[in-house]
Structure 1
Amino acid sequence: MRIGIVCPYSWDVPGGVQFHIRDLAEHLIALGHEVSVLAPADDETPLPRYVVSAGRAVPVPYNGSVARLNFGFLSAARVRRWLHDGTFDVIHIHEPASPSLGLLTCWAAQGPIVATFHTSNPRSRAMIAAYPILQAALEKISARIAVSEYARRTLVEHLGGDAVVIPNGVDVDFFAGAEPRPEWGTPAAERDTGGTIGFIGRIDEPRKGLPVLMRALPSILRARPDARLLVAGRGDEEEAVAALPAGMRERVEFLGMVSDEDKARLLRSVDLYVAPNTGGESFGIILVEAMSAGAPVLGSDLDAFVQVLDRGAAGEIFANEDAEALAGAAVRLLGDPARRAELRERGSAHVRRFDWSTVGADILAVYETVTDGAASVATDDRPGLRQRFGLARS
């Protein structure tokens, strides 16, 4: 099958959607399909052979963050050329409602279109206001996927229609097989008084929750003075620790941006992974990666996180933005090796449903449904088919 995938966000700025698209493309290629990904990218960005640059992106406020998007006449021309050269059997657009390549592709493409909706935002005034502009493009979509029930709810409430829920995928074995790094673990002599906490995310993006974790850290260190926090991600490191007492700042180690390999090794090394995100999350891929690596997870009680953590069975949950609740749970878990071992076991079993062997097969089933004759699918009256895949009416 010839598959064209559209990435809305700049390829050179790491993010969950980009990682999902990269891994999906490589999974499909490994199965023998021909895949081309169209994505914004700076001229100097090294790209995999399957990625086609749509040109430089610009920063745009979107979904409580700043997304680097690509939109305009030049982008539209590149979309049309990519579609012409690709002669795809199916087009898979991510975030078609954002002002980016997905919307341009919806306008220009012919034939079967699958769309994945990642955004979870129950009160998006921008999406409501833009609906009259989006409607003509969205009506061309043959099938809709939402990465979580909360992304599906956002789609239904703002744009109408429905979608099948297929979560983001993870190469579980890649994380499970990573080698821990001794310097990122806890020395045997400090296991009763310390513990290593991990955090991965953009430091200067408040919704990723690092400020909440920093507010919790003094209480954690008073109870466990040898504990330390490892932070991986880009941002202003000095500003991140500015509110900490001076004597505690040395207990925070910033690793900067890390490779995929080092991310997996970090997650394999820590005693506890904390996800203090405060909002705007439709799924929580880092939770799945952490559980895949065997890290016990403590996450805020965002709806999407609660679902990924199997309502607390696969990881523990604390009240969103409550630093003292975070600190209390972290201290308890760091002091309870048996509970952490239980979470590792439950998390490792739970994440198998997110492995690409399952997620990839579900996405391919959607592709096959829309390519097996759009006309026959549009008139198929088999119970549940249209509802399952969120099929557009002709």
Structure 2
Amino acid sequence: MRIGIVCPYAWDVPGGVQFHIRDLAEHLIALGHAVSVLAPSDEDTPLPPYVVSAGRAVPVPYNGSVARLNFGFLSAARVRRWVHDGDFEVLHIHEPASPSLGLLACWTAQGPIVATFHTSNPRSRAMIAAYPILQPALEKISARIAVSEYARRTLVEHLGGDAVVIPNGVDVGFFDRAEPKHAWLGDVLHDSGGGRGPTLGFIGRIDEPRKGLPVLMKALPDILAEHPEARLLVAGRGDEKEAVAGLPAGMRDHVEFLGMVSDEDKARLLRSVDLYVAPNTGGESFGIILVEAMSAGAPVLASDLDAFVQVLDGGRAGEIYPNEDATALAGAANRLLRDPARLRELRDRGSRHVRRFDWSTVGSDILSVYETVTDGAASVAADERPGLRARWGLARD
């Protein structure tokens, strides 16, 4: 099958949507499909052979964050050329309601379109106001996917229609096979040697408040008061000095910043920690990092965002605490770190639960949607050409 996938966000800026599209494309290619991805990127960004650059992106406030998007006349021309040259059997557009390549592709494309909605924003006035502009493009979509029930709810409430829920996918085996890194190991779940204290992990953009690092930093003194040898490993881009500015000077050495890490080191980090903490405060429609952590066998402590609770099987596959409550976060972390049996229970439950997010399942579900819309398009085309139907022996009685 010839499949075109449109990525709305800059390929060179890591994010859950980009990772999902990358992994989906590589999964489909491994199955023998011909896949091309159109994405914004800077000129000097190294791209995989299946990615076509749509030009440089610009920062745009979107969904409580700042997204790097690509929109305008030049972008529209590039989209038209890519769609024409690709001659795709199905076009898979991500976030078609954002001011991005996806919306441009909707306006341009003529064949079957599958759209995936990632955004969870129950109070989006902008989306409601833009509906008259979006409607003609959205009406061309053949099938809609939402990555979570909360993304589906946002779609239904703001744009109408419905969607099938197919979660983001993860290569569970990639994280499960990763080797822990000795320097990052704690001594609660791992035999690290040397009498180390527990290790906590956080992965996310340091300077994006909704990722919740300030909440975790506020909780850290209470965690260190009970576990004075504890360490927090932080992976992600941002101002490291500003991140620890609120900590007492004597505690700042307990935070180790790793900067941007490779996929391999992210997996090793998650395999090494005694507890992964997700203190995100909002704007999350899924929670791919929780799935990655569970895939690596890391016990998870997360804020009780609706999407996080769903990913964690209602709190059975991970511990949850009240959103933005640093005291509750510290209390939950301390209880878990002094209870290795509970940590092992969460690890085992998470490892079982996460199999439903593996690409072997998610990829099959997405392909089923592709096949449904392409079969439907073929049937409509045949119905419109009765002479061809008769020639092929497909005429109805």
Same fold (TM over 0.5): yes
Conserved 8 A contact 1:314-1:346: yes
Conserved 8 A contact 1:7-1:18: yes
Shift of 1:376: 4.2
Amino acid corresponding to residue 319 of structure 1 in structure 2: P
Kindly report which structure 2 residues correspond to 1:100-139, keeping only aligned pairs within 5 A, or say none.
100-139=100-139
Conserved 8 A contact 1:190-1:226: no
Amino acid corresponding to residue 318 of structure 1 in structure 2: Y
Cα offsets for 1:306-336 (capped at 9, x unmatched):
0000011100000000000000010111111
Aligned with 2:237: secondary structure? Answer: coil
Aligned match of 1:23: 23
Aligned match of 1:208: 211
Shift of 1:374: 2.2
In 2, the alpha carbon distance for the partners of 1:284 and 1:377 equals 38
Amino acid corresponding to residue 25 of structure 1 in structure 2: A
Among candidates 239, 253, 271, match of residue 274 of structure 2:
271
In 1, the alpha carbon distance for the partners of 2:195 and 2:71 equals 53
Aligned match of 1:351: 354
Query: What TM-score do you get using the length of structure 2 for normalisation?
Result: 0.94
Q: Which structure's CA Rg is the greater one?
A: 2
How big is the alpha-carbon RMSD for the aligned residues of Structure 1 and Structure 2? 1.4
Among candidates 295, 299, 308, match of residue 296 of structure 1:
299
Q: Aligned pair 1:325/2:328, yes or no?
A: yes
Amino acid corresponding to residue 51 of structure 1 in structure 2: V
In 1, the alpha carbon distance for the partners of 2:115 and 2:4 equals 12
In 1, the alpha carbon distance for the partners of 2:169 and 2:139 equals 27
Shift of 1:373: 2.9
Aligned match of 1:373: 376
Identity of aligned residues (%): 86
Amino acid corresponding to residue 370 of structure 1 in structure 2: V
Q: Aligned pair 1:190/2:208, yes or no?
A: no
Aligned match of 1:261: 264
Query: What TM-score do you get using the length of structure 1 for normalisation?
Result: 0.94
Aligned with 2:99: secondary structure? Answer: coil
Kindly report which structure 2 residues correspond to 1:1-394, keeping only aligned pairs within 5 A, or say none.
1-186=1-186, 187-190=192-195, 194-374=197-377, 376=379
Cα offsets for 1:340-387 (capped at 9, x unmatched):
111111000000000000000000000000000327479xxxxxxxxx
Total equivalences in the alignment: 378
In 2, the alpha carbon distance for the partners of 1:336 and 1:293 equals 20
Aligned with 1:314: secondary structure? Answer: coil
In 2, the alpha carbon distance for the partners of 1:196 and 1:81 equals 50
Shift of 1:188: 3.6
In 2, the alpha carbon distance for the partners of 1:115 and 1:20 equals 14
Aligned match of 2:384: none
Aligned with 1:197: secondary structure? Answer: strand
Flag as ranges the 4+ runs of structure 1 deviating above 6 A.
Answer: none
Conserved 8 A contact 1:369-1:377: no
Amino acid corresponding to residue 107 of structure 1 in structure 2: W
Aligned with 1:190: secondary structure? Answer: coil
Shift of 1:246: 0.3
In 2, the alpha carbon distance for the partners of 1:312 and 1:27 equals 30
Shift of 1:190: 3.5
Conserved 8 A contact 1:300-1:317: yes
Conserved 8 A contact 1:36-1:52: yes
More relative contact order in 1 or in 2 (CA 8 Å, sep 6+)? 1
Shift of 1:153: 0.1
In 1, the alpha carbon distance for the partners of 2:379 and 2:154 equals 29
Question: Which runs of 5 or more structure 1 residues have no equivalent in the other structure?
Answer: 379-394
Shift of 1:126: 0.6
In 2, the alpha carbon distance for the partners of 1:137 and 1:84 equals 18
Aligned with 2:270: secondary structure? Answer: helix
Amino acid corresponding to residue 164 of structure 1 in structure 2: V
Shift of 1:4: 0.1
Aligned with 1:373: secondary structure? Answer: helix
